[in-house]
Structure 1
Amino acid sequence: MAAKSNSYLDQVMAQSAELEEDLRSRSGPPRSTAAPQAPGAPSPMAKRAGRVGPAREHTPQGPVEVRVSGWWRWQTVLVPPNAFVVHTRRGAAEPLHIGLGVSFRFNPATDSYLVVPGAIQTILINAYCICSELQGVLVQGYVQWIIEDFATAYRKLDFSDPEDPMRLVNVQLREQAEAAIKDKVSTMGVRDVLSDKQPIIEELTARLRTVAEGAGENGARGDRGLGLSIVTVQIKEAVVSSNTLWENLQKPYRSEQNRVARLAELEAQQAVAARETAVARATEEQRIENERELAELRARNDAARFDRESAEKLRRTTRDHDIEREVADLAQQAALHALRLERDKHAEQLDNARLQQELRRMQLDAELALTQAKTRVAHESSLLGLERERIGIDNANSRSETTVRAQLIDKLPAIVEHLPTPTELKSVQIGGDTLGLAGLVTQVSEIVAAVRDNAQS
């Protein structure tokens, strides 16, 4: 049967291996022995050959932006104002320059310098602790520190890491902080660790200040410090490693809270039920009231509609009666007008008949008068003809040759007008000097007969 693995022991062993790796000094190019040479800068052999170029500047890459200008023995190191620097020279017992943001001339053959960030540093702490009840507790916190006395710090601390000069210092302070937290938590119970973190903060602050600042029991600073200053110490969280223990610790509070919540829920349900009953009753009352109001409104609407319909029916009936009466009046007026027209027509017919009778009478009278006049004229004509005949007879009896010739001469123009135009001329010579009536008549008769023949041909 395989033995159960100890997860806490595995964690401790992994942390120890990680600590050894962190504490191991990382070798790199010594930053303090010589500054990097700018690309294209002349070497000593080039200088000896007389091929020295102009001075150039170079900014090395790293945690602190330090600029190095110049060439070979005549270089200048420009340090940012927020970085500590120490400048030493071969053969000198004390540093030539030391402080914050100090720039200086640098000779790579005899000088060396160290630049360290002067900003505040933050260390994150994850301490796996064992409390007095032998239960695992994870305490998380952070420590903030800053360099206060760089003249002491650069002698006692290792800032040789070229990538992160503060790495080894942070690792050492973190291990001391975790050790202090574990010592303090081992004397406390689980509930004390979870509920009150102030004793842990006080213990951790006191120990770190003793180590970093060299403070004694009465707070006086000594010369045993590291030249550092602890800014603040805070514990963010404390978590029980065992889920079962964490749940058991929470069960009383959760049970109490469940009880309170259940009672509150029951009270809420009771209040809600009462409220729902009241609301349902109010809703039912409101519904009944609404139905009553709706019934009254429907009744009023029905009554108003009935009144409107009755008024409309009465108006329509009255209108129909008025129309019928108007139609009857119009029919009566039309009948009267027709009677008047008929009467006028009969009167006109009577007048026409009377006029026709009168006209007929007048025509008859005219015909009678005409007949009488014709008769009288005929009678008179016959009498006149008789008279004319008688006068003609009398004239014939009393007419002489001279009278006849005079009458014929008078009628000659009229006779000539009615004669046709002659196409040929025939001359008839009648001999004798004196012509009598008989000879003249004979000549005229022959002329007339010739003209008639020509007209007929």
Structure 2
Amino acid sequence: MVASQERLEQDLRSKRAPAPAPAAQSNVGPGPGDLRAGSGQSASERPAVEVRVTGFGRWKTVLVPPNAFVVHTRRGRNEPLHIGQGVSFRFNPAQDSYLVVPGAMQTILINAFCICRELQGVLVQAYVQWIIGDFGTAYRKLDFADSVDPMHLVNLQLKEQAEAAIKDKVSTMSVHEVLSDKQPIIEELTARLRDVAEGSDSGGGLGLRIVTVQIKEAVVSSPRLWENLQKPFRAEQNRLARLAEVTADTAIAERELAAERELAELRAASDAHTFDRDTSEQRRRADLEQENTRALTEMADETTRHALNLERERHEVEAQIERLRIERETEMKALELRARLELTRLEAEATHERALLEIERERMRAAIDNDQSPATIQSKLIDSLPEIVSKLPKPTELRSVTIGGSDSTTVAGLLAELSTVVGALRAVVPPTP
């Protein structure tokens, strides 16, 4: 445990080992040679705060990082020219000096080997975190001269004071109080460190501010004493464990008996329920079969009645269709008869009209013929002779007929001649069968 505490302390420290510095450079910033050799210095010799100095001779400027405190003094002046955090200034090496201190929070790891009220050794591990609160007071009262680790000496002093406070408080407490309640140690350590670092209301103090104080661990140095301290607790725990086992076994046995009784009751109830269920199922199935039979019978009867109704409706529909067909045929025949009668009437009327027209035409033709002169009749007959001749068949023999003794200038003579010609033609043309 102590080794791990030391490793943690080593990790929290800056990765620089203290190196002796010339007395001329303890209060004065680095010279030009130091700046030029910055890259040639080893990691263990580099200052805690990297400060850049620019310019040459008397016209130099010191550039301080923003997280570092600096105080700048000049020969012949009681008060510093510049003081604060991250303050840069002009620097004359002939008459000026400055001090740079890190402004980050510092952690102090404490391993206090204490003696309690029972004269038993106890190792108390704690840590304290602090920062600079008033640098104007701190740089006057504390030693920050080590340029490689300016906080080393301050941390060492605070560590010694913290260990003394822890030892004083633990010496008034018993081992049980130290191990069970660490708050009194924390309060005592915080009060003493704040009284030293921050001072009281009337003044004083080192210009520091305590951030936090914590107790990490408290360990009894004697393994035998630690074993003896653990024995009552372990015995009590064993007793509680054994009682718990007995209680658990008793509860398990009672639970098993109750479970067996419940299981027997459940089995009996299950058998009775099974018997009742089987009986109910058989009765339900019988009722269901009868209901199904009745339902099937009713459905068959309903189907038969429905089929008969459908057949009757079909016959009615067919009769209705046949009646409608007969009525339609009767109506069609009546319409055809009326149409035929109307057509016959119209034909009779048309024939009558045509006959009347023929009679009228014959009458008019007779009137026209009566009004024509014999010369006109002869000229029309002469004009129509070529057409009459062209329609006649080719004669097989030639006969000469001499018509005389009549006057062709009269109608009677002309008719006599025409009768003679027609008779000759009829003699020549064979009769049609």
- Normalised by the size of structure 1, how large is the TM-score? 0.49
Q: Does 1:81 align with 2:66?
A: yes
Relative to structure 1, the CA distance from residue 129 to residue 293 in structure 2 (aligned partners, 3 Å threshold; closer, same or farther) is same
RMSD: 3.9
In the TM superposition, what is the alpha-carbon distance from 1:133 to its structure 2 partner?
1.1
Query: In the alignment, is residue 27 of structure 1 matched against residue 25 of structure 2?
Result: no
2:97 aligned residue (112, 119, 129):
112
| C-alpha distance in structure 2 between counterparts of 1:139 and 1:158, whole Å | 28
One of 159, 167, 170 as aligned partner of 2:144:
159
Structure 1 residue 182: Cα displacement: 0.8
- Is 2:179 the counterpart of 1:194? yes
Match for residue 83 of structure 2 among 98, 101, 104 = 98
**1:110 Cα offset (Å):** 2.9
Once residues 164 and 37 of structure 2 are traced to their aligned partners in structure 1, the CA distance between those partners, rounded to angstroms, is: 51
Match of 2:209 in 1: 229
AA aligned to 1:221 is G
Give the residue type in structure 2 aligned to 1:193.
Answer: V
How far has the Cα of 1:104 moved from its partner?
A: 0.6
Q: Deviations over 1:245-267 (max 9, x none)?
A: 11212222222222222212211
Q: Report what 1:133 is aligned to.
A: 118
1:238 aligns with 2:218: yes
Equivalent position SS for 2:144: coil
Name 1:256's counterpart in structure 2: 236
SS in 1 for 2:190: helix
Alignment of 1:285-296 (within 5 A): none
For 1:399-418, what aligned pairs fall within 5 Å after superposition? none
Given residue 87 of structure 2, which amino acid in structure 1 is its aligned partner? V
- 2:246 aligned with 1:266: yes
Distance 1:210 1:127 in 2: 20
Superposition deviation, residue 75 in structure 1: 2.3
- Partners of 2:55 and 2:230 lie apart in 1 by 68
**Once the 2 structures are TM-superposed, how far is the Cα of residue 227 of structure 1 from its aligned partner?**
1.5
Shift of 1:234: 2.2
Q: Quote the Cα distance in structure 2 between the aligned partners of 1:40 and 1:165.
A: 21
Contact persistence 1:142–1:233 (CA under 8 A) = yes
**Tell me, what secondary structure is at the counterpart of 2:80?**
coil
TM-score norm. by structure 2 comes to: 0.52
Inter-partner Cα distance in structure 2 for 1:208 and 1:159: 19
Among candidates 118, 121, 124, match of residue 106 of structure 2 = 121
Aligned partners of 1:33 and 1:39: how far apart in 2? 14
- Partners of 1:62 and 1:284 lie apart in 2 by 88
CA deviation profile, 1:104-126 (whole Å, cap 9, x unmatched): 11223332211111222221111
Count of matched residue pairs: 267
Flag structure 1 segments of 5+ consecutive residues without an equivalent: 1-23, 42-59, 298-457
Matches within 5 A, 1:298-337: none
Q: What's the offset of the Cα at 1:244?
A: 1.3
1:118–1:147 CA contact under 8 A, matched in 2: yes
Superposition deviation, residue 279 in structure 1: 4.4
The letter of the residue matching 1:170 is N
Instruction: Give distance in 1, aligned partners of 2:248 and 2:69.
Output: 66
Letter of the 1:246 counterpart = W
1:283 Cα deviation from its structure 2 partner? 6.0
Contact map agreement 2:123 2:220 (CA 8 A) in 1: yes
Name 1:147's counterpart in structure 2.
132
Q: CA deviation at 1:189?
A: 1.6
Which amino acid is the alignment partner of residue 269 of structure 1?
D
Please give the alpha-carbon distance, in whole angstroms, between the structure 2 residues aligned to 1:72 and 1:293: 113
| Distance in 1, Cα, partners of 2:250 & 2:211 | 56
Could you tell me which residue of structure 2 aligns to residue 333 of structure 1?
none
Secondary structure of 1:158's aligned partner? coil
- For 2:138 and 2:18, locate their aligned partners in 1 and report how far apart those are by CA, in whole Å: 17
**AA in 1 matched with 2:195:** T
Please name the residue that 2:418 is paired with.
Answer: none
1:173 aligns with 2:155: no
Q: 2:199 matched to 1:214?
A: yes
Counterpart in the other structure of 2:170 = 185
Which amino acid in structure 1 is aligned with residue 30 of structure 2? A
Structure 2 counterparts to residues 432-443 of structure 1, below 5 A? none
SS of equivalent to 1:188? coil
Write the distance in 1 (CA, Å) between the matches of 2:163 and 2:108: 11
Contact 2:18 2:149 in 1 (8 A): no
Q: What is the rounded CA distance, in whole Å, between the counterparts of 2:48 and 2:259 in structure 1?
A: 72
* Residue type at the aligned position of 2:180: S
SS of equivalent to 2:145: coil
